[in-house]
Structure formats: structure tokens, C-alpha cells
């Protein structure tokens, strides 16, 4: 049945005061920081996570919080998605499978997991009329021209190249989100996340910074793929989490799709040198040809730089912790003696 497209604005504010928030993927790297940010603002937080890529220990800092609840289940299951949407005021959908190495090793799982969980959650949230923030990825831009603006056409690449499959699954999630919003009239925001780094990120599935930090503290060579001149903008995960909650609370989100990330562009080889310096490490740089790591047709975007105009308009600030500071924080956490260092090292080396 076709429904008329409502006149009401379909985006922000998703929520006007701290209430009940559902965070899918809340035991994951970014999700767990969103949970901390929400609890700090007074929300009661229900985490639903199947712990396939997330870890219970990511929530250690808030495990005893009286307003936190954890359900171990997959939101790709429509019954689970419906049940968890029944008693919440806002959804933060972060459940997903990321990492270029995982995409190389398990492409079907990566594409299906992202598509299925997103569709199930969107359908359930629309049916329960719960405003939703869906996280997408800067991968959708592929090798488009920088800076990446939200309204730009996407260039995910050929179906014969693996990387585009993840990009298209995330892009399809966006189209579904916007279609659900148009049909149900439930406010929805899509946040396209750029490279996000910080405590609790695993280095197992790509993710260059935790890999470099782990290599440096172990005295191993830092594996720079290709020439290392490719650039990324690395945002601190705490800034990203705060930006997502601010976006959900913002009354003036200019459009439904919003880039979230940093604009400090850093070449991968520069990042490796930064880690070397911060760790005062004797680890050499080892240039690894890209085709030794990834199959033919796997494109590594040469630059990835967001336009953050919409984000700035919506929340009045953009993530800006300098990458040098993030590197210093991660190196010192990985070097810390006792349980703090052990936790940081364990996080960097497992999913």
C-alpha cells in the first residue's frame, strides 16, 4: 500500500530530553562510547548486541550503572528488533560488521549482516514510531572527488571489486532509512561516519591506528600499505559519540544525511611516523604492496575528506581532537602498566 509522503520534517530533533535510548551494537567500539555519552546525559540505555564483533568488556566502565541494560541478541532477527523497539524513545543503530580485512575474508557475511540488521531495525522502529539515528559509512563515497559532500553521487566501484559490496550495503541501508522515514513519517537521521579511532578499537580487521600502536609497542615493523601517501581524517571516538548524541538532540539538522568525522587529513605514512615518535620505538616502517594484502580490484581510496558543513550547522561544532593527541593517548594506554595497559593491549589485538 502506498502512503502519502507526510509534510512534517522527517529529521531532528529525534529526542527532546533524556529518556530511554536503545543502542544496537552498543558493546562495539563506537557503540560503547555512545552508551557512555548517553548515560552521562541521563538517558536510560538499553544495549542490544549479539557480541559477534562487540565485547562485553567494552562496557566495563559503565557495567554497574543502574540505567544500563544489556540484551545479547541479534537485531537482524525481526522478532528481536520488534521487541527491543517496544520500550524505547530513540534508537541509535550502530550494529554492523566493519573492517576491510573482514570484508576480504568474509564478504558475504559482511554484506548480509549489515543489510539484514539495518532493514530489520528500520522496519521495527518505523512500526513502533521510534525516531532513529542510523550510522552509515564514508565507504559509500568510494573513490569520489574530495571533499565528500552528502548530496554527491556515490562511486562505490565495480561489482567485480569486493570493496564496493560493503559500500553498497551501507548505501542501501541509507536508502532504506530514508524510504522508511518518508513512508512512516518517523524522524530519521543517517550519520555517515568517517575514520574513527580511539580506546577499545580492535586492530584485527584493518583499522590502521590500533595496528600501528600494537606493532610499535611490540617493537615490530609498522606495516604501511602501498606508498603510504593515501590520506584519512581520524576523529576521536569520544568526539564522534558526542556528535551523534548532539545530532539526535539537534532541532536544526539541515538534511537527513550528515557526515560525521574530522577534517584533519593525515597521510598513512605520516601517521606511522607519529606513532613511531610517540612510542619512541625502534620499529622500522615496512612498505607492503597493496596487492600483497588485498585481492585485485580492491580499491584503497587515495583521499577521504568530508565536508562537515551540515554537521556544523546541526550541532555547532565538529570533531577536532588533533590526531597527534589521539596517537599519544593510545600509545600511553598501550604502554601503561597493570590492568589499564593490559586492557588497552587486549582491545587492540582482538575483536
Residue closer to ligand UDP (CB basis): 118 or 266 = 266
Residue closer to ligand UDP (CB basis): 200 or 211 = 211
Catalytic, out of 43, 141, 166, 225: 166
Q: Is 227 helix (H, G, I), strand (E, B) or coil?
A: coil
CB of 305 to ligand UDP, least distance (A): 12
**Residue 48 contacts ligand UDP per CB under 6 A:** no
CA distances from 220 to 4, 248, 254, 292 (A): 60, 42, 46, 18
Query: What is the gyration radius of the CA atoms in the chain, in angstroms?
Result: 19
Residue closer to ligand UDP (CB basis): 53 or 184 = 53
User: Binding pattern to ligand UDP, positions 201-220, x when CB under 6 A?
Assistant: -----xxx--x---------
**Residue 349 contacts ligand UDP per CB under 6 A:** no
Q: How far is 264 from 266, CA to CA, in rounded Å?
A: 6
CB of 32 to ligand UDP, least distance (A): 18
Backbone angles phi, psi at 24, to 5 degrees: -80, 140
Q: Which stretch binds ligand UDP (CB under 6 A): 69-77, 85-93, 125-133, 224-232?
A: 224-232
Q: Which of residues 236-275 bind ligand UDP (CB under 6 A)?
A: 268
**Residue 313 contacts ligand UDP per CB under 6 A:** no
Beta bridge partners of 193: 137, 260
- The counts of H helices and E strands in the chain are 12, 13
Number of residues located near ligand UDP, criterion CB under 6 A? 13
Which one among 100, 178, 191, 333 touches ligand UDP, defined by CB under 6 A? 100
Q: How far is 169 from 76, CA to CA, in rounded Å?
A: 14
Which one, of 79, 86, 77, 96, lies nearest residue 24 by Cα? 96
CB of 144 to ligand UDP, least distance (A): 14
CB of 234 to ligand UDP, least distance (A): 9
Q: How far is 314 from 252, CA to CA, in rounded Å?
A: 5
**Residue 300 contacts ligand UDP per CB under 6 A:** yes
Q: Which stretch binds ligand UDP (CB under 6 A): 119-127, 179-187, 223-231, 259-267?
A: 223-231
Annotation marks residue 166 as catalytic: yes
Per DSSP, helices labelled H in the chain are 29-40, 78-85, 100-105, 107-128, 163-184, 208-218, 237-249, 268-279, 290-293, 309-315, 323-335, 338-349
Contacts with ligand UDP, residue ranges (CB under 6 A):
100, 195, 206-208, 211, 223-225, 230, 232, 268, 300
Question: Which residues are tagged catalytic?
Answer: 166
Amino acid at each position: 500500500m502506498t502512503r502519502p509522503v507526510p509534510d512534517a520534517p522527517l529529521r531532528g530533533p529525534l529526542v527532546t530530553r533524556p529518556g530511554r535510548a536503545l543502542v544496537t551494537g552498543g558493546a562495539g567500539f563506537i557503540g560503547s562510547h555512545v552508551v557512555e555519552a548517553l548515560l552521562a546525559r541521563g538517558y536510560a540505555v538499553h544495549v542490544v548486541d549479539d557480541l559477534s564483533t562487540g565485547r562485553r568488556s567494552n562496557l566495563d566502565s559503565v557495567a554497574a550503572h543502574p540505567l544500563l541494560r544489556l540484551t545479547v541478541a541479534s537485531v537482524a532477527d525481526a522478532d528481536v528488533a520488534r521487541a527491543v523497539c517496544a520500550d524505547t524513545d530513540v534508537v541509535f543503530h550502530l550494529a554492523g560488521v566493519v573492517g576491510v580485512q573482514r570484508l576480504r575474508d568474509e564478504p558475504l557475511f559482511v554484506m548480509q549482516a549489515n543489510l539484514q540488521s539495518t532493514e530489520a531495525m528500520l522496519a521495527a522502529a518505523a512500526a513502533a514510531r521510534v525516531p532513529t539515528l542510523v550510522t552509515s559509512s564514508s565507504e559509500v563515497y568510494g573513490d569520489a572527488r574530495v571533499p565528500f559532500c552528502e548530496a554527491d553521487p556515490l562511486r562505490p566501484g565495480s561489482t567485480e571489486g569486493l570493496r564496493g559490496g560493503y559500500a553498497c550495503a551501507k548505501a542501501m541501508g541509507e536508502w532504506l532509512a530514508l524510504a522508511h522515514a518518508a513512508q512512516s513519517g518517523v524522524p530519521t537521521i543517517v550519520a555517515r561516519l568517517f575514520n574513527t579511532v580511539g580506546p577499545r578499537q580492535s586492530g584485527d580487521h584493518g583499522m590502521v591506528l590500533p595496528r600501528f600502536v600494537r606493532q610499535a609497542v611490540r617493537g615490530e615493523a609498522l606495516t604501511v600499505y602501498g606508498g603510504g601517501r593515501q590520506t584519512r581524517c581520524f576523529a576521536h571516538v569520544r568526539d564522534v559519540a558526542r556528535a551523534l548524541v548532539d545530532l539526535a538532540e539537534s532541532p536544526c539538522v539541515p538534511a537527513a544525511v550528515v557526515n560525521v568525522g574530522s577534517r584533519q587529513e593525515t597521510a598513512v605514512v605520516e601517521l606511522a611516523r607519529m606513532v613511531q615518535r610517540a612510542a619512541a620505538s625502534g620499529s622500522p616502517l615496512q612498505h607492503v604492496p597493496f596487492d600483497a594484502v588485498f585481492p585485485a580490484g580492491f580499491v584503497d581510496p587515495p583521499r577521504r575528506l568530508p565536508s562537515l558543513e551540515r554537521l556544523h550547522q546541526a550541532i555547532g561544532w565538529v570533531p577536532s581532537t588533533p590526531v597527534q593527541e589521539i596517537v599519544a593517548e593510545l600509545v600511553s594506554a598501550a604502554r601503561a602498566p597493570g590492568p589499564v595497559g593490559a586492557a588497552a593491549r587486549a582491545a587492540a589485538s582482538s575483536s
